[in-house]
């Protein structure tokens, strides 16, 4: 029995999310069906985490166990040949039996894209939140400092969040400006349901000048989700990277914020 890890990229626009659902098209179902075709057997995969309907991934990581013997190239080409155009395997790597895509992860990084310009974009509409007015990036960056470290993020979790604990270690935030596009990167050991989108909603209120930067810390201290801003739309969010200990030998390097990522 071999344990195989995959790096997966997908456009989440037309999916109900990563996880299998009773109704609707999920990324997990598409990938499992494609792997099963290559393995000639049913295969259940374990992902590093879930993404909601409409959320994208540049580097979702999964693992599965199989008795089928295939080379990494055979897995890669075979699985991709059986996947739809909006999902693609980027790499395949056989890993040790103690590797777990979710539990072995050290940190995750998400990116939220905001398009700030006077008119809408037909090309960016599926990958960014369009806002007409410019945002104060300096104020947003100052606000994020209140979240650094290990904190209770109850004020930024969805009502239906199933996590047993609201405590997360927030490790970094950065805004990169590319013309009219803002890229907001968030790094943490893990994220609660809707946490990034709720953090973005609060930052946008601050960036618009409707709240002071200190409001970010006040929200977190309150623990009350109803006091926060809107939940940012799902289509602006992308799972960018997941980091693992180097001894697993995965064929990519996850670069922390501040190290040239």
Q: What's the CA gap between 116 and 2, in Å, rounded?
A: 47
Give CA–CA dist 49/62, Å, rounded: 9
Q: Decide if 136 is catalytic.
A: no
Are the C-beta atoms of residues 189 and 167 closer than 8 Å to each other?
no
Cα gap 9→76, rounded to integer Å? 13
Cα dihedral 19, 253, 237, 84 sign: negative
Catalytic residue among 11, 40, 52, 136: 52
SS3 at position 37:
helix
Residues in the chain: 261
CB 84 within 8 A of CB 25: no
Residue 3 DSSP class: E
d(CA 190, CA 31): 23
Q: Are 140 and 199 in contact (CB under 8 A)?
A: no
**Sheet strands (E) in 127-257:** 129-131, 149-152, 167-178, 181-188, 237-243
Diameter of the chain measured on Cα atoms = 58
Q: What are the catalytic residues?
A: 52
């Amino acid at each position: 029995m071999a344990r195989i890890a995959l790096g997966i990229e997908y456009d989440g626009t037309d999916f109900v999310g990563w996880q299998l659902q009773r109704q609707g098209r999920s990324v997990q179902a598409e990938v499992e069906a494609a792997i099963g075709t290559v393995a000639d057997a049913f295969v259940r995969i374990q992902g590093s985490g879930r993404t909601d309907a409409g959320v994208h991934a540049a580097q979702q990581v999964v693992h599965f166990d199989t008795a089928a013997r295939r080379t990494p190239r055979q897995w890669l080409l075979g699985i991709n040949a059986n996947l739809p155009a909006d999902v693609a395997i980027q790499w395949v790597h056989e890993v040790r039996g103690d590797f777990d895509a979710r539990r072995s992860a050290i940190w995750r990084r998400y990116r939220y894209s905001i398009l700030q310009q006077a008119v809408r974009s037909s090309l960016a509409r599926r990958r960014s939140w369009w806002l007409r007015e410019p945002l104060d990036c300096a104020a947003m960056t100052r606000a994020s400092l209140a979240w650094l470290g290990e904190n209770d993020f109850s004020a930024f979790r969805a009502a239906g969040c199933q996590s047993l604990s609201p405590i997360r270690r927030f490790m970094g935030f950065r805004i990169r400006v590319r013309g009219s596009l803002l890229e907001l990167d968030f790094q943490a050991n893990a994220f609660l349901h809707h946490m990034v989108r709720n953090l973005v909603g609060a930052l946008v209120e601050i960036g618009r000048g409707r709240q002071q930067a200190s409001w970010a810390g006040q929200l977190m201290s309150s623990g009350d989700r109803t006091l926060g801003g809107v939940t940012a739309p799902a289509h602006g969010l992308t799972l960018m990277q997941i980091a693992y200990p180097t001894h697993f030998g995965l064929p990519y390097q996850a670069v922390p914020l501040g190290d040239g990522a």
